A and B are shown apart, each in its own frame.
Chain A
Amino acid sequence: MSLRITYFFLESDSMIKLIRVTVALFMPLISLTAFSYGADVSSNLSVNVVPPEATGGCGTPSPYVPAGYTCKTAASDEFNGTTLDSTKWKDLANTSLRYVSGGVLHMQYAPDGSNGGIMGTGNNGSGDAPFYLETRTRWPTGEDTGGETNWPFSSDVWQYCSGTGNCGELDVDQRFCANQDINVWAWRGGGNTWDGAGYTGTVGCLGNSANMRDGNFHILGVQVW
């Protein structure tokens, strides 16, 4: 029996300390993740410092932005300050499970299945392609409990809806996959198809050189033209 517990300790807005505690109890495939704030840990730390950013609009472009592309402020957010920008976002779910602090959006998921999901307000997109979408995100560490069937997060999605149940999505990142990878799930069609049909590229759990669950921020991008 093997019981794995992962704890995160947040001590300030600019520094996050993380420690993983593994307890072997001879029960396979049980993986638990928890957050605890204000605690002090002195060993086995992985520190992430949030970099300085612009106070408004779009921050310094990453090196991955295509040449000739510029940032559309109305459809972008640096998550500075201490409140969510209501001109850009509206809540989908439990507002107590999301907050802005330390230059990042904290998006939480509770044991009862509720979450702090948000979506963009109105038509703040860029319109038709060509466009390039980019997000810098990090996820809790630790192993998945069952591979592709687990969906802890539905996140960082670029969505267009023409009516209820008739949405197209570009899923910049969508879910945990077995052990380490965030997948790229390419297309959702005009109905409710999630199979990526119509897209010739690879979808699903995509292995890559980066361990997306290493506790560090990673930059995910999608360019469409």
Chain B
Amino acid sequence: MVDGTAIFTTDGQVVSSGKVDINTYPVMVRPTLTGFSGYHWVIGGSVIYWPYIIEMQVDYVRTYCPGCN
């Protein structure tokens, strides 16, 4: 991580931006890819108990970085 800056966007509009304290959160900002399972996407998880099946749909998840392929 260069300086801990993060920008969150929705449909291209910034909804949150700031910096993370890399001293407080070294796990988050200094991954080594040698840990329990590395960086990865997680889709799905917690749910409240709704009386019907509900569904979300994911068209894609993508990871970009400079020079990636």
Contacts and interface: CB of A to CB of B under 8 A. Distances in A.
Given A107-B44, A201-B6, A223-B6, A189 B27 contact: yes
Interface string B27-53: 111110111111111111111111111
A106 B31 contact: no
Nearest to B17: A201
A199 B5 CA distance: 9
A107 B64 contact: no
Contact of A105 (B24, B37, B43): B43
Interface string A178-193: 0000101011111000
Nearest to A118: B43
A198 B42 contact: no
A35 B58 CA distance: 17
Contacts of A62: 12
A197 B1 CA distance: 18
Contacts of A64: 9, 11-12
Contacts of A186: 6, 8, 16, 18, 20
Interface in A80-139: 92-93, 97-98, 103-139
B64 A137 contact: no
A38 interface: no
Given A116-B44, A186-B8, A208-B15, A123 B61 contact: no
B57 A104 contact: yes
Given A63-B12, A69-B68, A105-B43, A110 B53 contact: yes
Given A113-B47, A114-B47, A119-B42, 16 more contacts: A32-B51, A35-B53, A71-B62, A104-B59, A105-B57, A112-B49, A118-B43, A120-B41, A123-B39, A126-B68, A159-B42, A168-B28, A187-B6, A190-B28, A200-B18, A206-B15
Q: Which A-B residue pairs are the 8 nearest by beta carbons?
A: A125-B39, A201-B18, A120-B40, A117-B44, A154-B45, A168-B28, A123-B38, A200-B18
